[in-house]
Structure 1
Amino acid sequence: MNTDVMFSSKTDLWATPQAFFNELDAEFNFTLDPCSNGENAKCAKYFTKSDDGLTQEWAPHVVFMNPPYGREIGTWMRKAYEESKRGATVVCLVPARTDTRWFHDYVYGVADEIRFVKGRLKFGDAESSAPFPSMVVVYRGITQ
């Protein structure tokens, strides 16, 4: 794998480290991956780009979301928050970008839990760590 492309602005896709996912899955028992490319699905139920996870209903699933890290990340975080209000539990692996609008609108003071990842993750098959810190944002679904 060419890590030069992986760690650049040429891509907004960052493959979740399997061991990191496994730890979270043991805690949450995920049932939906709304941001899959089809080959990297973390759950039996998943949505690809052609399915458009932003237009699908996520509730009552327990969702693992590692969204594209580009400009649309705010839209994904809004969707995660909204779906939690409909009953989905959503666990998001995202860059720790505390200076962004999406962080202040949909994470800080809104999420049920923010876990800052110690150190930097190695995404996919990369030998080098990511050039940014990560965090796990948890929205616990509200049942009506």
Structure 2
Amino acid sequence: MLNKGIFSSDKDDWETPQKLFEKLNDRYHFVIDLAATSKNAKCKNYYTVEDDALSKDWSKVNGPKWLNPPYGRQLGLWVKKAYISSIKCKDPIVLLIPARTDTSYWHEYIFYKAHIDFLRGRLKFEHNGSAGDSAPFPSAIVTYNFDTPWL
């Protein structure tokens, strides 16, 4: 049965699969997780809902930034923020997002502006360290200020 919690707007604290994050972190050495909770943060430094990451100036944080944003209705705002921040700083900003390439934010802020790696298969996002069911959508790693492949 599909775990509907991962796709509803009432639950935004699903975690990046640890093995995927480790592979990316080995390449980028992230300094901040831009959308986390104290329980699922992937970096020593992180922004929580209470910090209101969308109101922060991400370019003031030096170093590579990780973002697995909430997949609710504001996802496009997170992608826009990452794009705008990438113009202000030269550090990589790496996102894990649904590969919904028909959405306006993909066309406005990703295509021809970022490096895209489409992930094969469907990810199993985690909650409290345990994997849930496979996502019903494909995922992509979107990298702003990309220099070399991580795969």
TM over 0.5: yes
Q: Secondary structure at the match of 2:71?
A: coil
Check whether the contact 1:6–1:14 (CA below 8 A) recurs between aligned residues. no
Within the candidate set 118, 122, 130, 1:120 is matched to 122
What is the 5 A alignment of 1:1-144? 4-9=3-8, 10-59=10-59, 60-87=62-89, 88-111=91-114, 113-124=115-126, 125-140=130-145
> For structure 1, which runs of at least 5 residues remain unmatched after alignment?
none
TM-score by length of 1: 0.89
> For structure 2, which runs of at least 5 residues remain unmatched after alignment?
147-151
Q: Secondary structure at the match of 2:3?
A: helix
Q: Distance in 1 between matches of 2:3 and 2:113?
A: 35
Q: Distance in 1 between matches of 2:98 and 2:134?
A: 13
1:87-128 CA-to-partner distances (Å, cap 9, x unmatched) read 1320000000001001111111111x1000000111002342
TM-score by length of 2: 0.85
Query: What is the percentage of aligned positions where both structures have the same residue?
Result: 43
Q: CA deviation at 1:5?
A: 4.1
Q: Distance in 2 between matches of 1:38 and 1:127?
A: 20
Q: 1:102 to 1:41 in 2, by over 3 A?
A: same
Q: Secondary structure at the match of 1:78?
A: helix
Q: Distance in 2 between matches of 1:8 and 1:24?
A: 24
Runs of 4+ aligned structure 1 residues displaced above 4 Å come to: none
